[in-house]
Amino acid sequence: MSALQDLFAGTRAEGRAALVGYLPAGFPTVDRSAELLTGMIDAGCDLVEVGLPYSDPVLDGPVIQAASQTALSAGFRIRDIFTVVERVSAAGGKAVVMTYFNPVLAYGPDAFARDLAAAGGLGVITPDLIVDEAEDWLAAADTHGIDPIFLVAPSSSAERIHATAARTRGFLYAAAVMGVTGARDSVSEAAEGLVARCREQTDLPIGVGLGVRNGEQAATMTGFADAVIVGSAFTALAGEPGPDGLDAVRALAAELAAGVRSGARVGA
């Protein structure tokens, strides 16, 4: 059983979804991002997604785009992602990386999987890579024990969901909305339906991302999803300097963690 499988077995046994927090590495600095991500784990996140800043994102909304640009302008390099993951892992946290695939190609798929595994990383989410074109990456991930995590969307057909889930390990990432990341006032009505369609095709845990920003929304999603993924809401708070930013990020993690523990889980 992989570490991600073990994580989801534990949260399922507790009758709740896992809380997954996202933050771009290097925002506002490499050291600070490691501190913030570790704080998110301490305050209740079961897993963190460490984002790799990229100049041409297709999924990121304005909050994460701005944060990524800040990191790139400050001199962020691909190798810095492993430093951040290593610090999270050394502090007892569990981390996966979320990255567009061009940086992985530039670094080399095998070297990227090798160095991420050495840093203690568990998996990689690749929002712009489809399974049909992922053979080299799948081979590298398999060699180094990294879970490849792919995305499905409300527009995905049953056949596409089945094919994507068949090559995914760890959990399947279900994008709750068509569009880019960003906190929203309510959970997308499409999210529960998408999770139900995924469950017809796979026994993998289903993580739902895009749009969540508070404990009430997290409680709603724990009723049908295996993981609640929160990114923009954390990123918006992370730029505050000093203890204010860390305290705000920790407070949001604690609110969301309470939310995933208070929601009524279907079948629990």
Phi then psi for residue 142, to 5 deg, are -65, -40
Annotation says 46 is catalytic: no
- Single out the catalytic residue among 35, 46, 60, 80: 60
Annotation says 60 is catalytic: yes
Beta bridge partners of 18: 227
From the list 112, 114, 119, 44, the residue with the least C-alpha distance to 82 is: 119
Beta bridge partners of 19: 228
- Single out the catalytic residue among 49, 86, 115, 192: 49
Burial class (CB in 10 A: 0-12, 13-18, 19+), 159: exposed
- List, by residue number, the catalytic residues: 49, 60
